[in-house]
Copies of this chain bind each other. A is one copy, B any other.
């Protein structure tokens, strides 16, 4: 009996995670702790990075059945919501309910700044192809420059699911670093005189325009880029809940408990996909470098286009608001305000920067739509239309 007892205890010991853990998992546990540290003590997008980090922690405890690939595991269930692209659109419903498009409507030309900031997406696309990624992977990496977590997750899960984990982590990490990354670029590309430009007061907008806007955006953008409807349509529905004034209940739920529940599920699912095999590889480092490039180029693109608008308008536009075009609402707009106030503390750019800031959300959704049109699943946007595009792309590749 003594023998069996100690033998059984030995067996129990062998069945613990200690016996099965490998070096990759140990490193990933370290990565998880770094993410938790950044989320809690550095306040890097804690609403996402804390549950992502904890999901990563649980997924890398051996035999815990918490990896996104463990059939029947708890986080595998949540991961279905990422795989089938259900959770990111629900996040966007909440984002729409939280977003005020008023400043954009008061100065619609700032939409161009939201477009210009997408330049970061495309330089990164080219850079990623140069580093050996294929076009679909490169698109998913490029969209990090759009500075929109849900959009990045949506596109990655569609075009490059094997890169989902590093792309999501890079997107949210760099969004948190916006206050560090952007100011030097902004100062370097603008003159003191430009930074001192004061912009004219925004005109008030009628509530009817605010109500009609989400409907019109949905019709126009989703007609032109049908594949982006789940993201952009839900964003605009959330905004319609907000502005219509007749659906206060749905508005409140969308922007509080619904987005919170979906955030918990989404972030745990993303974390559960951070396995050693998917994360500890050269690609991750490339993605981190490319992500930084994407953010820098997006900022530069926005600021340079801002300078152009400043010139063309005869000095009525402060180019500093261009950097807000990356989205990362409302941090990027606060950075514009802060850099402007350094030069002249009576200059209030915040409201003006909110226009390009929310334009950046629409801009990266549109950029995502272009990628989905070009590289999306053939069954998704109608087989015949896709075949047509494919032939074009192939003809370009074979040239």
Residues of chain A having any CB pair with chain B under 8 Å: 4, 7-8, 11-12, 14-21, 29, 33, 36, 39-40, 43, 46-47, 50-51, 54, 57-58, 61-66, 72-74, 77, 84-86, 89, 93, 211, 215, 218-219, 222-227, 229-230, 233-234, 237, 240-241, 244-247, 249-250, 252-254, 256-258, 260-261, 263-264, 268, 370, 373-374, 379-382, 385-386, 388-389, 392-393, 395-396, 399
Contacts and interface: CB of A to CB of B under 8 A. Distances in A.
A218 B249 CA distance: 29
7 contacts: A17-B224, A54-B237, A57-B215, A63-B226, A77-B86, A249-B260, A249-B263
B227 A63 contact: yes
Copies of the polypeptide in the assembly: 3
Nearest to A380: B65
B57 A373 contact: no
Nearest to A385: B15
B389 A12 contact: yes
A93 B219 CA distance: 35
A65 B314 CA distance: 45
Contact of A233 (B66, B226, B395): B66
Contact of A389 (B11, B252, B385, B386): B11
Contacts of A15: 373, 381, 385-386, 388-389
Q: Which of A241, A247, A381 has the most CB of B within 10 A?
A: A247
A237 B51 contact: yes
A264 B254 contact: yes
Contacts of A51: 237, 247, 250
Contacts of A47: 246-247, 249-250
Given A54-B233, A57-B218, 14 more contacts: A11-B388, A12-B389, A16-B224, A20-B382, A43-B246, A57-B233, A58-B229, A58-B233, A61-B226, A65-B226, A65-B380, A65-B381, A74-B89, A74-B234
Contacts of A229: 58, 61, 64-66
7 interchain residue pairs of minimum CB distance: A46-B246, A64-B229, A253-B260, A63-B226, A17-B223, A15-B385, A74-B230
A159 B389 CA distance: 42
A147 B195 CA distance: 62
Nearest to A228: B64
A4 B215 CA distance: 35
Contacts of A8: 392-393, 396
A260 B264 contact: no
A206 to B, nearest CB: 13
Contacts of A64: 222, 226-227, 229-230, 233
A111 to B, nearest CB: 19
A263 B250 contact: yes
Contact of A218 (B58, B258, B260): B58
Contacts of A253: 256-257, 260-261, 264
Contacts of A396: 4, 8
Q: Which of A17, A57, A230 has the most CB of B within 10 A?
A: A17
Given A260-B252, A381-B63, A247 B4 contact: no
B61 A222 contact: yes
A223 B385 contact: no
Given A47-B247, A50-B240, A225-B16, A219 B61 contact: yes
Nearest to A17: B223
B222 A58 contact: yes
B258 A264 contact: yes
A36 B61 CA distance: 42
A83 to B, nearest CB: 10
